[in-house]
Amino acid sequence: MLLVTENPQAVPAVKQYEAFIEVSDKTRTPASSRAGKRKSPKDTSVMAGPITLISSLSWTEFLEQIATELEVTNDRLVVGSLRWKLQKPANSQVLGLNPKSGYSFMVRRVQERPEKIPVVTIFMDTPLKQSQTSNSLVSSFSFFFFITLSDFVAME
C-alpha cells in the first residue's frame, strides 16, 4: 500500500507582507565655480507607506497598489527603475523588480520568510508628471503634422 503525504511547503499559502516605497529624485545641482568641476547629483528620497500587500497579487495589481499609495496613475510609474530589498537581514541585496522574473522572485522570497509579516522596501525613481507624458505626445504629433504639412506644400 502506498501512502501519500502532503508536503505543506509544496504549495505556498498566500502571505501578507508590508512594503515601504522609497522614491528617489535625483536632481542636478548647478555647476560649482571651481575650475569647471561639477557637483554630483543630489539624491533626495521620500518614503511612502507602509502598505499591506498579499503575495497572490498579480504584477498589474501590485503596480496599482504602488500607484495608489503614491497618488498617481499606473502609467506614471517608471517601471524600469523598480527595485526591492527585504528588511531582514539588514545586509540583503537590492534586486531588480522586472515584470517577468523579478516580481515572482520577490513573492517567493516573501513567502519563504519566517516572520509573520515580512517587510519589503521598494525603491523607484520619481513618477512622471502629467506634462512629461502629454508633452512628448504633443511634440511628436506637432513634428508629424509639420512634416506632413511641409510635404504637402512642397508638392504644389
Say whether both 94 and 154 belong to one domain: no
Q: Which residues contact 59 (CB under 8 A, 6 or more apart)?
A: 99, 103
Say whether both 139 and 95 belong to one domain: no
98 pLDDT tier (thresholds 50, 70, 90): confident
Give domain status of residue 9, yes or no.
no
Q: What mean pLDDT is predicted for residues 74-97?
A: 92
Say whether both 45 and 69 belong to one domain: yes
Give domain status of residue 10, yes or no.
no
Say whether both 74 and 112 belong to one domain: yes
- The partner residues of 124 in beta bridges, in order of sequence, read 23
Nearest in space to 69 (alpha carbons), one of 24, 21, 125, 113: 21
- Give the β-pairing of 95-96 and 83-86: antiparallel
Per the CB < 8 A criterion, the answer to whether 124 and 83 are in contact is: yes
Say whether both 119 and 50 belong to one domain: yes
C-alpha cell at 17: 507582507
Say whether both 85 and 133 belong to one domain: no
Q: What is the CATH number of the domain that holds 118?
A: 3.10.20.90
The per-residue pLDDT of the chain, averaged, comes to 77
Give domain status of residue 85, yes or no.
yes
Per the CB < 8 A criterion, the answer to whether 54 and 44 are in contact is: no
pLDDT of residue 149: 43
Summarised one tens digit per residue, pLDDT across range 140-153 is 444 444 444 445 44
Domain range enclosing 138: 128-156
Domain count, the chain: 2
- Written as one letter, the residue type at 95 is L
